[in-house]
Amino acid sequence: MISKTMEKLLNEQINKELYSANLYLSMCSYFKDLELDGFANFYRIQSKEELFHASKQFDYMHDVGGKVTMMAVDAPETKFKSIIHVFQLTLEHEKTVTSSINNLVNQALSESDFATHNFLQWFIAEQVEEEASISNLLKKLEMIGDNSSAMYLLNAELGQRTYKEKSAGSNN
């Protein structure tokens, strides 16, 4: 059984994951409009991962007797200034999600809710990975500048990404 405070925070977290999924679909659409299918593929997979995060939290709530309350999801950004702008927004967004997960961990510790604390460790590792991969792509984009052949190659590289569901307890 989890506390009412933890239940509320986890419901808000599910909502944030769903918002993230929609934000990344919106970015996917931006890239599809530019005919950059590799970037679009990258963001579609980002979106699927966020749905998976929401469903992990949804299942955990049920496992520990929490009440899931689905809430309205805010509309994501739909207009982006440039490719690099999309990645800057993504990094900013992932940082806010990281602090939200950190708040959940703080709450779990303050309540000695070790089960939730343990559950959240997967997300802590996931956020490290997310921030690192987006920072890395941002650096590549800064290097590329307006070199269209380099952009073509990065688009091709991102087109190779495939979605694999990450199992519990593993972050690979």
Residues placed in the known binding site for Fe cation:
17, 50, 53, 94, 127
CB of 21 to Fe ion, least distance (A): 8
CB of 143 to Fe ion, least distance (A): 24
CB of 131 to Fe ion, least distance (A): 9
CB of 153 to Fe ion, least distance (A): 25
The DSSP output letter for 50 is H
Shorter beta-carbon distance to Fe ion: residue 44 or 151: 44
Which H or E run includes 34? Answer: none
Distance CA 75, CA 128 (A): 26
Q: Is 68 left (phi over 0), alpha (psi -120 to 50) or beta?
A: beta
* Chain residue whose CB lies nearest Fe ion: 53
CB of 107 to Fe ion, least distance (A): 18
Shorter beta-carbon distance to Fe ion: residue 2 or 54: 54
Cβ count near 75 (within 10 Å)? 10
Shorter beta-carbon distance to Fe ion: residue 30 or 93: 93
Going from the C-alpha of 169 to that of each of 1, 25, 57, 122, the distances in angstroms are: 21, 27, 14, 7
Shorter beta-carbon distance to Fe ion: residue 7 or 130: 130
Shorter beta-carbon distance to Fe ion: residue 39 or 151: 39
**For helices 148-158 and 37-63, angle between their N-to-C axes, nearest 10 degrees:** 40
Q: Which residues bind Fe ion (CB under 5 A)?
A: 17, 50, 53, 130
The binding site consists of 17, 50, 53, 94, 127
Query: Under 8 Å CB-to-CB from 24, ≥6 apart: which residues?
Result: 43, 44, 46, 47, 50, 90
Nearest by Cα to 42 from 52, 32, 33, 51: 32
